[in-house]
Amino acid sequence: MRDPDGLLAVGGNLSSNTLLAAYQQGIFPWYEAGQPLLWWSPDPRAVIFPEQISVSRSLRKSWRRNEWTIKIDHDFLQVIENCAAPRIQGHGGTWITMEMKLAYLALHRAGHAHSVEVWHHNQLVGGLYGVMVGSLFCGESMFSRQRDASKVALTALSGMLQQRHSDSLIDCQVSNDHLLSMGAVTISRREFLARLANLRVKLFDWNAVNIDSALTKLR
């Protein structure tokens, strides 16, 4: 549909097989509690080319000022719980329902969903999670408990992707001011699907990631 932009289907399920089949075709679920399961493929599509990630001077200062550590998949459950929490205390709900949490936890256990986490000593202060399709990272949500922590996680992710495949891509789904400030751009659905067809066959080895070198742009 054109309005709402990209609504493709209603119903189905959130089994791991269904989710993987959807992501491999550029489709993702997005709905709120009380709604039926909705599937989307918007046009245009918001993406970040990792080499074009925008790192401001203030973000570099935040990285140098805070004693943060970057970890991968250290506590996926805590990341998704923080992403599901209301952004303003006492206001609003979340689109990350219990059904969604369980579905992405199952994908994580199967090695398809991953988290990039920002830790301050023993406390998780920011991060993001998403689904890996070849060398395309399909971003789902991010959070910050300290200023700029989610931006640091996104910058780290970009550096990790660049290490393995120069043409890798971060799917941001729908544009917003926060993502635009980090270098997100929009491309047509046609272009996105063409890039997806190429990237989904290029496997990404998370075990081969060098986290220290992925942080070069923050220094």
- One digit per residue, the tens of pLDDT, for the chain of length 219 reads 999 999 999 999 999 999 999 999 999 999 988 899 999 999 999 999 999 999 999 999 999 999 999 999 999 999 999 999 876 443 334 679 999 999 999 999 999 999 999 999 999 999 999 999 999 999 999 999 999 999 999 999 999 999 978 889 999 999 999 999 999 999 999 999 999 999 999 999 999 999 999 999 999
Is residue 190 within 8 Å of residue 164, measured between CB atoms? no
Enter the pTM of the model: 0.94
Dihedrals phi, psi of 77, to nearest 5 degrees = -60, -45
Alpha-carbon distance of 172 to 28, in angstroms, equals: 11
Residue 160 one-letter amino acid: M
**pLDDT tens digits, residue range 129-158?**
999 999 999 999 999 999 999 999 999 999
**pLDDT tens digits, residue range 84-117?**
987 644 333 467 999 999 999 999 999 999 999 9
